[in-house]
Structure 1
Amino acid sequence: MKKLMLALIGLATFAINLGVTDTLPLAAQETSTAPAAPWTALSGSVADLAMNADGQAYAVGRDGTVWRWDLVEIRWRPMSGKMQRITAAEGNRPWAVSGGGTVFRYNGLWWENRAEDVVDVAADTLGNVYIAKSDGTIFKWYDLRSEWRPVSGRAVRLSLDYDGMLWAIAPDGTVQSFDGENWQAWSGRARDIAAGGTGQVGIATPEGDIRLLNDSQKVWSKLAGINDVVSLVIAPDSAVWAVQGDGDLYTNKPVSSTGDQTQTQNQQARSANARSITAEGIAVDTPSAPVQSAQSIVAPTVAPQTAVVEDSRPSEDRGSVVDQASITANDPVTFFDTNKSADRIAIGKDGSIFALDVDGNVLRWSNSRRDFESFPGSLVRIAVSPEGVPWGISNLGRVFFNTGVEWEQVRDATASNIAIGSDGTVVISDASGTLFEFDESSKRFNRIQGSGIDVAVSPDGVVWVINADGFVQRCDDFPCKLLPQKARDISIGPDGRVWIVSEQGRLMRLAEDGATFEVVTTLGQEPRDVASGPNGLPWFVAINGSVYASSYFERDESADRMIAARSSGDTVGSGASESPVSDSPSAITFSKNMRFDTLDNGDIATGEAWIEAGNDELVYVYSLQDRKFTTYDERRRTFVSKSTQLGANSYEIDGFVVDSEGGIWADVNETGQTTVVGLFRDFDGSLREYDDPCNTIEDLGIAPDDTLYVVCSFTSGNNRLYRKPSNSLTFRQIQTDVNISKVAVGRAQDIWIIDSNDNVRQWDGRNFVLRPRSGQEAQAISVGADGSVYIRINNDLAKWNSANQSFDTVNNIDISHLTVDHTGRPWITYDTTPEVKRAR
């Protein structure tokens, strides 16, 4: 909060040495007069100004120079490029329009050309981006496919409110809003429009006045005291910032250095309006009355139904140097929603925060941008050293650490989990639960006593584990001491406080007795992954992927982007490999007899049926009898018809997969009255053909990040594997001498195949190796986003067991077709009834 307040203070008190591009000629310019109270002049002269819901501000100077407000250093920083219009999006990723009509997106290092012939652009922190072209047409950006799609309506100016609603000025100057389906016309005409604050919308009229929308009365109310306004923005604290025709900048809500009045107003505004901005809203923190956002999650000091306690500081030798990170915070733990998502998270003693997304991509938290930024590399486990160096485990079980230039592999080591203590002790556990500690002098891992499927290390190097039965153990002696508490995840911070996520999904910490755990309330949020940082303050990832923080750890971030830019992202490595054991709380604990529920067929036609789990988290069934699709409706507990162009035309297909948008990629082989053959995507009522490199498509697979895999057959008799990223139209071959029949892909591009001899294989970074090494025949394979691998052996279901490197057969189920959903649960169809079943 304090930084965002300082941002506004900086805007109000720092001279803006900004170079004026021409303003929109919607009306004749009038002579500017000095605004009256409450308007306050700000130093400098600008052509355009933008600010997002997080308070991140940008400006375009009169000479076209782009400036970014640095929330850390409290000053304006010049950016590359010459622009005319600018909009603030999520993180430090603004969009801007040049004088030549090109719209650019800033990628963190440079501006990327995204479209031509553009007059305005609007973006928000939710990921929405719209442009208006010179002919008035409107387009929306779809980042997943890196493409623009047309939107109905016409506009010359655009703005997005904090809920993602689009506001626009039409070519005739009228004001309109778009809710994603319908346009609504509003009275009045405007030359510029802005949305922000606690639901405010404002316009600059052709006469140069500012008017704010009175939503209840559907009228525009004039803000007195200013004229000749050509551009405006509304800040998160609802202050209006106005640019006059001569470039002079004014605000109607000056920010005082004390912030007392502003704080009171902000608290009143938020309590009266359901639209709350981010947790670090514009307000000043004071020790006596810290401001909390409406989205904050607070562990109260007094909570009769929970076991939350306040920790006192440990006794300290006042004559010695105290490691500040090791001092336990004595305030109640307060969580707030970062509005960002991840799959796993790790924190170093220095406050460095790294995470993995659901596809295994490495992310690094930026305090200044309040966002995760991309960091080179792909992993399935992550840990951070005391100095902020990320370590991790690849999908092949290989261990790496980042040198600042590349990911260096630790030779002769494979692992399933990794943890680093604040003293620098690095410990891994392999697929069988065996523990190893890293020896810095030899750069190798040595076997240590104990075993566990998950591991944490205390500041004095003591290893804690979650054992194979799910119980927490402390291994300061051997045998390890068993604590009467089951857990899914464990983390220990620099202060020595032990945090766990219990088997029931509760956040807990070790009590003062050192033997029991007490619940820390998360007010309805169910954690699945926890990481403790400096002063014992944790972050956690909820089961829906949302990331919650209890503190932003101040650190020098000046070199972060440079390290990311120069570092290689190669985390393939070489040598021994293994599949890390899944410790996902959503993963099924495997047993020889798995329990299945028989599902209602609903609209599924009688006959053979294929089943596929889509990246959109729906499960699809394709009936070979009527060539129609159905999806499972959780609420109705049955399969319901899915309207598709493939189904409407009764096209015959030989296989399909589903991307995260619900687009069905199908190998169409219709040779009836109409010949339709090849790779097609059925989405949103249209069927689009894509070029593929095959003579004939043998199989399709799709990764959790929507990378498409195609097995192609050729007249030579050799089958080859190709892949196409979601943002590309180009297929590239994966070089291998293995003749491939079927493909399935998990997170972090974990590729599994069945070869032409029916053997199961896994990609090790260089080739496809047998799994297990002795070989295993199968007729079908599916991989879940959590890493679970299932195969069909004749009519039997089997699951890959990483611990013993073999497939274990499920004894009590017969199957014809199978799929694995995003939680790791197998779904099957059997016979021609068909029977459809889902594992519990």
Structure 2
Amino acid sequence: MEKKKLALVWLATFSVALGVTNTVHVAAQEAPPPPSAPWVPLSGSVADIAMNADGQAYAVGRDGTVWRWDRIEVRWRPMSGKMQRIAAAEGNRPWAVSDDGTVFRYNGLWWENRAEDVVDVAADTLGNVYIAKNDGAVFKWYDLRSEWRPVTGSAVRLALDYDGTLWAVASDGTVQSFDGESWQAWNGRARDIAAGGIGQVGIATPEGDIRLLSEADAAWTKLAGINDVVSLVIAPDSAVWAVQSDGDLYTNRPVSSTGEEAENQRAKPITARSITPESIAAEVPSAPVQSAQSIAAPDVSTQTAVVEDTPPNQDRGGVIDPATITADGPITFFDTNKSADRIAIGKDGSIFALDSDGNVLRWSNSRRDFESFPGSLVRIAVDPEGTPWGISNLGRVFFNNGTKWEQVQDATASNIAIGSGGTVVIADASGTLFKFDETRKRFNRIQGTGVDVAVSPDGDVWVINADGFVQRCDDFPCKLLPQKASDISIGPDGRVWIVSEQGRLMRLKKDGSTFEVVTTLGQEPRDVASGPNGLPWFVATDGSVFASSYFERDESEDRMIAARSSGDTVGTGASESPVSDSPSAITFSKNMRFDTLDNGDITSGEAWIEAGNDELVYAYSTQTRSFHTYDERRRTFVSKKTVLGTNSYEIEGFVVDSNGAIWADVNNVGQSATLQGLYRDFDGSLRKYDDPCNTIEDVGIAPDDTLYVVCSFASGNNKLYRKPSNSATFREIRSTVSIDKVAVGRAQEIWVIDFDGYVRQWDGQDFVKRPRTGQEASAISVGADGSVYIRINNDLAKWNSANQSFDKVNNIEINHLTVDQTGRPWITFDTAPEIKRARQ
């Protein structure tokens, strides 16, 4: 129902928002007959439109202006840049093609150049992105490695359905679909193609008709009443929008035909202002966020919160779900006289808890007590049907299927939350968020980061960030609220509950941005869970459990399920071992197994090691001044011919881009040839690049080949500069910190070691200490997956965002380190030297 309403508001407002934009006038020509019922005109001059499975809409005006539909403020917002084609992806991260054939990805603040010579782009909310180039070649985007990989086939127009199947129109107009392995040809010819709705695919034919595919008989059915169509899109509610050659926009689903209280859905009038597009390549080093230090939590006087009447939530059938109705009257707590360490409540009223040893407990209303339930966990959550999910003391994710704890493969986590709508979200030790895909039984990465997580009934994610502040991630970048918290929960009524940093129980006010204190009988909460009707339970600091209500439910099978269920929560695969099993103070040490690798020709001296963006791992011998790469097939390091190595030029550091080009800080002074500064060694040639440094102190590279250099000056304050891969100019990242070393991960996530030896992370405004109490290190490396490793003396340690600390990796000594594309650390030690990598 929500997507349907959004589509209607989108329609109702399109003409208001885009109808006054500048248009491109064309020469007079014979106009086609106007569309007839059920097609309804919407004024405005449109070049392209897009809408994803979540109902997020975008449009490109005939003048190239890009517009984004703001679902919260119910209006169109102009975006920077001038585009020709657009595709709606996950969150507020659309992809678009400019009129010169450059494809861009919006990062939340500006458009990032991703490829040239492109004619079309298609994207979806699953993370799939495809482009078609001028020569018809098709490529797929791999976000982890920030690279395009070729796909067999040829196309000039692309579309993705909600299941990730690629649909394409070839240069001769033929229609094809690609399931990831092979292409299937379909009858008919098209000039444009769209996919959406409930498995619907539509085309605009060369004659300007719209036809929808019937997969059962592989036939296209014509939609009557419209012609001269050049572009179309299919919305989540299966409505079709069509753009004619003159830019006129039509829909076959008028607002008044839905019976959905159209008056209440109508957006407020909007007067479009004159927009001057911003520069596509804005000179900002990273997507800025509010600095935690600059936000002061508001003074809150203790008061008794009173729950006021709120309209009930409704499901698709219009039937009121009693659990979603916010309880009336003040919240009053009573002592259950029971104890626990953590607690979780499902929409059906099922209450699960963990004791101080991690044993699983289930609440019984009839016995007014917690009863033993098989299993041992450190985190617990409950889905809408009352099924418990949890994280084991090895960091593995499980859910109970009624007879055993079933492991979700290839997933490790430090926190878990489930919305009353069934959305399951985890946060791993680095703070990365993942959402469970029920169909594929796996977790997929989503936008945002956080050390604790909660999920609203609509599936919106709320987090507590690394600095302790509450953030709402219904859009990206996440919105930061001026309130710190140590725990967070959202009930079926949508109300957000937190335990503040000062140990107060608080609830989000109706303004959606501030919290009010709820009295707790003089107790200090440390963990909160909200149940049906927004009625919470909490665990006090002494372990006592307090309730505001018992939730009526059928408990007749609870003991039977417990009796037949296995308690095995060990599992297999990747793990992270807690030092303490206490769920309220979980910390991790890392137990990794390393393989010793064959050094090849590197027989003596130190070896510097670096994971290249070309997916190879490079070693540089300081003894022979030569480069080597690891040959996976031969299981050894082999010599790599380079200009630097052939001439034995002395270098101070290096990185490798996705083409295999070596960028090196060369310091070959007083030798046969004097070379000093930044050089690029590629394909048998050595080229010097202008850098802003008096002396280069360090070099780093992001997964998208953005180059970073740390410069020292006579003033004594080291500065950081960055150069995008498509630019020859370095620009300063302004900071109050003097920097010594730099490492960069996904999404331009910048980590440095400052001049005093402390680890810091860029927060959008400056480099802040990680952890806030400070951690000294002598080396740092960041993987393309976001993994952060440092060297502490000769020890290896990994960043744990959940605990805001670096966890020591046991039984390994290091001199140099790098992190490969999969997040595995590689290390070198001693002058023999030993080269090792972590096992997968």
TM-score (structure 1 length as normaliser): 0.51
Distance 1:177 1:364, change over 3 A: farther
1:231-257 per-position Cα deviation (integer Å, ceiling 9, x unaligned): 321233555444566644215999855
Mapping for residues 794-813 of structure 1, pairs under 5 Å: 796-797=794-795
Counterpart for residue 610 of structure 1:
607
Tell me if the contact between 2:697 and 2:709 (Cα under 8 Å) persists in the aligned partners: yes
Counterpart for residue 56 of structure 1:
56
Counterpart for residue 601 of structure 1:
597
Deviation at 1:830, TM superposition (A): 3.1
Distance 1:284 1:642, change over 3 A: farther
Task: Please give the secondary structure, in 1, of the residue aligned with 2:597.
Answer: coil
Q: How many Å separate the matches in 2 of 1:772 and 1:330?
A: 37
Tell me if the contact between 1:311 and 1:329 (Cα under 8 Å) persists in the aligned partners: no
Q: How many Å separate the matches in 1 of 2:192 and 2:383?
A: 48
Counterpart for residue 472 of structure 2:
365
Q: How many Å separate the matches in 1 of 2:734 and 2:67?
A: 44
Letter of the 2:42 partner, please give it.
G
Task: Please give the secondary structure, in 2, of the residue aligned with 1:89.
Answer: coil
1:636-673 per-position Cα deviation (integer Å, ceiling 9, x unaligned): 9x966699885998786746566897977642659899
Counterpart for residue 732 of structure 2:
732
Mapping for residues 614-629 of structure 1, pairs under 5 Å: 620=617, 622=619, 624=621, 627-629=626-628
Residues 1:693 and 2:692 aligned together = yes
Task: Please give the secondary structure, in 1, of the residue aligned with 2:3.
Answer: helix
1:608-635 per-position Cα deviation (integer Å, ceiling 9, x unaligned): 46365759898945152694555698xx
Mapping for residues 62-211 of structure 1, pairs under 5 Å: 71=71, 77=76, 79=78, 86-92=86-92, 94=94, 122-125=122-125, 157-162=157-162, 167-170=167-170, 172-175=172-175, 188-197=188-197, 200-211=200-211
Q: How many Å separate the matches in 2 of 1:380 and 1:618?
A: 40
Identity in percent? 37
Q: Paired residue for 1:723, among 705, 721, 724?
A: 721
Q: How many Å separate the matches in 2 of 1:111 and 1:808?
A: 36
Task: Please give the secondary structure, in 1, of the residue aligned with 2:2.
Answer: helix
Letter of the 2:753 partner, please give it.
W
The number of aligned residues is 625
Q: How many Å separate the matches in 1 of 2:657 and 2:172?
A: 39
Residues 1:832 and 2:832 aligned together = yes
Deviation at 1:191, TM superposition (A): 2.3
Tell me if the contact between 1:668 and 1:678 (Cα under 8 Å) persists in the aligned partners: yes
Distance 1:791 1:125, change over 3 A: same
Tell me if the contact between 1:385 and 1:424 (Cα under 8 Å) persists in the aligned partners: no
Structure 1 runs not aligned, ≥5 long: 260-279, 292-296, 316-327, 393-416, 426-455, 466-489, 501-507, 528-541, 545-582, 590-594
Task: Please give the secondary structure, in 1, of the residue aligned with 2:5.
Answer: helix
Counterpart for residue 423 of structure 2:
336
Distance 1:639 1:511, change over 3 A: farther
Deviation at 1:6, TM superposition (A): 1.6
Distance 1:356 1:639, change over 3 A: farther
Distance 1:283 1:5, change over 3 A: farther
Tell me if the contact between 2:214 and 2:221 (Cα under 8 Å) persists in the aligned partners: no
Q: How many Å separate the matches in 1 of 2:715 and 2:489?
A: 50
Residues 1:6 and 2:5 aligned together = yes
Distance 1:42 1:646, change over 3 A: farther
Tell me if the contact between 1:709 and 1:722 (Cα under 8 Å) persists in the aligned partners: yes
Counterpart for residue 221 of structure 1:
220
Counterpart for residue 421 of structure 1:
504
Distance 1:824 1:675, change over 3 A: same
Tell me if the contact between 2:452 and 2:463 (Cα under 8 Å) persists in the aligned partners: yes
Task: Please give the secondary structure, in 1, of the residue aligned with 2:607.
Answer: strand
Task: Please give the secondary structure, in 2, of the residue aligned with 1:206.
Answer: coil
Tell me if the contact between 1:790 and 1:800 (Cα under 8 Å) persists in the aligned partners: no
Tell me if the contact between 1:627 and 1:647 (Cα under 8 Å) persists in the aligned partners: no
Counterpart for residue 751 of structure 1:
752
Q: How many Å separate the matches in 2 of 1:378 and 1:686?
A: 54
Mapping for residues 461-610 of structure 1, pairs under 5 Å: 462-463=523-524, 497-498=537-538, 587-588=588-589, 597=593, 599-602=595-598, 604-607=600-603, 608=605, 610=607
Letter of the 2:596 partner, please give it.
D
Letter of the 1:373 partner, please give it.
P
Letter of the 1:44 partner, please give it.
L
Deviation at 1:366, TM superposition (A): 4.9
Q: How many Å separate the matches in 2 of 1:242 and 1:837?
A: 55
Tell me if the contact between 2:52 and 2:88 (Cα under 8 Å) persists in the aligned partners: yes
Counterpart for residue 667 of structure 1:
664
Distance 1:160 1:151, change over 3 A: same
Residues 1:781 and 2:821 aligned together = no
Distance 1:721 1:172, change over 3 A: same
Counterpart for residue 233 of structure 1:
233
Q: How many Å separate the matches in 2 of 1:748 and 1:791?
A: 21
Deviation at 1:204, TM superposition (A): 1.1
Q: How many Å separate the matches in 2 of 1:311 and 1:329?
A: 17
1:156-192 per-position Cα deviation (integer Å, ceiling 9, x unaligned): 6443444666655455544466789999876543222
Tell me if the contact between 1:586 and 1:824 (Cα under 8 Å) persists in the aligned partners: no
Tell me if the contact between 1:614 and 1:659 (Cα under 8 Å) persists in the aligned partners: yes
Counterpart for residue 575 of structure 1:
none
Deviation at 1:723, TM superposition (A): 3.3
Q: How many Å separate the matches in 2 of 1:254 and 1:107?
A: 37
Tell me if the contact between 2:658 and 2:705 (Cα under 8 Å) persists in the aligned partners: no
Counterpart for residue 432 of structure 1:
none
Q: How many Å separate the matches in 1 of 2:221 and 2:463?
A: 47
1:212-244 per-position Cα deviation (integer Å, ceiling 9, x unaligned): 456798x55233545515132123355544456
Q: Paired residue for 1:249, among 239, 248, 251?
A: 251
Tell me if the contact between 1:828 and 1:838 (Cα under 8 Å) persists in the aligned partners: no
Q: How many Å separate the matches in 2 of 1:781 and 1:113?
A: 31
Tell me if the contact between 1:119 and 1:133 (Cα under 8 Å) persists in the aligned partners: yes
Distance 1:673 1:28, change over 3 A: farther
Deviation at 1:132, TM superposition (A): 7.2
Structure 2 runs not aligned, ≥5 long: 262-312, 325-344, 354-358, 369-381, 387-417, 425-434, 436-444, 509-516, 550-558, 577-583
Distance 1:464 1:696, change over 3 A: same
Task: Please give the secondary structure, in 2, of the residue aligned with 1:373.
Answer: coil
Tell me if the contact between 1:344 and 1:382 (Cα under 8 Å) persists in the aligned partners: no
Task: Please give the secondary structure, in 2, of the residue aligned with 1:372.
Answer: coil
Counterpart for residue 563 of structure 1:
none
Letter of the 2:830 partner, please give it.
Y
Tell me if the contact between 2:83 and 2:99 (Cα under 8 Å) persists in the aligned partners: yes
Distance 1:8 1:150, change over 3 A: same
Deviation at 1:205, TM superposition (A): 0.8
Distance 1:66 1:814, change over 3 A: closer
Counterpart for residue 483 of structure 1:
none
Task: Please give the secondary structure, in 2, of the residue aligned with 1:5.
Answer: helix
Q: How many Å separate the matches in 1 of 2:62 and 2:772?
A: 66
Q: How many Å separate the matches in 2 of 1:248 and 1:767?
A: 50
Tell me if the contact between 2:708 and 2:721 (Cα under 8 Å) persists in the aligned partners: yes
Distance 1:623 1:114, change over 3 A: closer
Task: Please give the secondary structure, in 1, of the residue aligned with 2:4.
Answer: helix
Deviation at 1:336, TM superposition (A): 1.0
Letter of the 1:5 partner, please give it.
K
